[in-house]
Amino acid sequence: MLLLPLALIPLLSVLTSATTPVCTNGFTLVGSKCLRLYTYPSTHQVAETTCASYGATLATPKNAVDNRAIATFVGSNPSLVWIGVYCFGSSLSKCMWDDATGSVEPYNSFASGFPLVDIGKCVYYSTQGALAGKWLSGDCDNEPRAFVCELPHTYTDICDHNYNGYCYIPIAITGFVAAQTQCERNCGNLATINSPNENRYINAFVSYDYNDGRNLMIGAIQARRSFYTWADGSIWGYNNVDPSSGYYDSCMFMSISASNVVPNGYWYSANCTSPSYFSLCKIPAGIKCNGAPPPVTVTPIPSSPSYCNSSVLIAPGVITSSHYPDNYDNNLYCVYQLTTIGSYRVQLTFTDFYTENGNDVVSVYNGDTVTSSALLGQYSGTLSTFSVKSYGNKMTVTFKTDGSVVYRGFSARFTSV
């Protein structure tokens, strides 16, 4: 697809002023949400992947009204559908929404006796009978079901990429000032990204439409060391910067190139004049330009802990040896418990590795137990970038050191695959 000429962008604001909620991509407006039913039986992972291709998630009914709406929307056939909840244990505090907004404790509709992870960790919804509107536990991989995807509503506009009230317009202009100036002239700004779902949506369409080796400049600029601000003045809340890439350069980019060392969808800092990228304007959908954006707010990016001997960590994230990139301690024993929501697997990629060969050892295990039968590999010494993948959705990593030589240790990124 060709990038939209900037001369055409003013038409988006001049010709449209609709404020009635609408849905895109074949989704149907149900209450305040956009839903789409897929009737063919699928595993939970296939269902999640299908929704993600639209920047959507499986349905997340977070109140009684939205929960009843699913039954009305689906009808009686199919009678059972996957929804966007995954449980790590048989308690409400361990059941998480797929959109990364936390646990289902504030609202749930589990049937009596559920959740029950001994049956399965994924969750499905019943549309009829005595269990109509109730949630039940199911096997993620061996019980294929229909499913419902969910997008936020937006407003009528002629733009190709319309999501949650905004048009996203790729432009073939480089340089932060030049690109931001063009976006402002057309009622918008370089794109801010304020949630995991928005990041998923942008990554989905730019990876598909513009898969030509270039990456994407977004609307973040470095105010001073490790302090970034959004071009539209919004608070720096959601942060998807790849922790292992650092915060050293002035502009922020989203990785969409398969050859990039930064994983697809993550952000990284680079010089504003770096070659081989394009920019993304974010423009309010369905309304006319209302003037200049407000002043920006500078917000610090917090430092990343090592997570040695912490609680369970949900992908994506980064683990390191203690004090990294400074030297780790002698006589250290660290355990890292990694997991991912849904039926994905955990992939652990070591981007830097330097320990005492044969004595300071990183061990990687499949699942949540440290046993010889679960061992995926043991590593020490000086190693180039490498990856280890679990068979299920859990991985355990240990790091054990002796009482003598110490080095800088390791940094490793874990993601869902």
Digit-coded pLDDT (tens) for 43-77: 998 999 899 888 899 999 999 999 999 999 999 88
The per-residue pLDDT for 302 is: 47
pLDDT of residue 164: 95
For residues 107-122, average pLDDT: 96
Asked if residue 13 has pLDDT above 80, the reply is: no
- Which tokens is 309 given? 């001997």
What 3-state DSSP class applies to 411? strand
Considering Cα of 341, then 347, then 348, then 351, what sign does the dihedral take? negative
pTM of the model: 0.71
Q: Looking at domain 6-16+159-300, which CATH architecture does it have? A: Roll (3.10)
Q: Which of 79-83, 202-206, 361-365, 368-372 has the lowest mean pLDDT?
A: 368-372
Higher pLDDT, 299 or 253: 253
**287/199: higher pLDDT:** 199
Which residue in 124, 36, 50 sits closest to 84, CA to CA? 124
Give percent above pLDDT 70 in the chain.
90
Q: Give the model's pLDDT for residue 241.
A: 87
The DSSP output letter for 48 is H
So what's the pLDDT on residue 258? 67
CA 21 to chain centre: 25
DSSP assignment, residue 191? Answer: P
Query: What is the domain class of 313-416 according to CATH?
Result: mainly beta
- At 296 the pLDDT is 45
Judge if the upstream peptide bond of residue 78 is cis by omega within 30 degrees of 0. yes
Span 239-245, mean pLDDT?
80
**Rounded average pLDDT over 347-366:** 95
Greatest mean pLDDT among 186-200, 236-250, 313-327? 186-200
Match domain 24-152 to its CATH number in 3.10.100.10, 3.40.50.1110, 3.90.110.10, 3.10.20.740.
Answer: 3.10.100.10
Per-residue pLDDT tens digits for 131-162:
999 999 999 999 999 999 999 999 999 899 99
Instruction: Look at residue 199 in the predicted model and tell me its pLDDT.
Output: 92
Residue 5 has pLDDT above 70, yes or no: no
pLDDT tens profile 280-314: 999 999 877 655 544 444 444 445 577 888 778 88
Higher pLDDT, 246 or 351: 351
Which residues of the chain form CATH 2.60.120.290? Answer: 313-416
**What local confidence, expressed as pLDDT, does residue 14 receive?**
41
DSSP state of 394: E
Residue 315 has pLDDT above 90, yes or no: no
Q: What is the dihedral of CA 28, 141, 64, 199, to 10 degrees?
A: -60
> Where exactly does CATH 3.10.100.10 map onto the chain?
6-16+159-300, 24-152
pLDDT at residue number 226: 66
State mean pLDDT over 93-121. 92
Output the pLDDT for position 289. 64
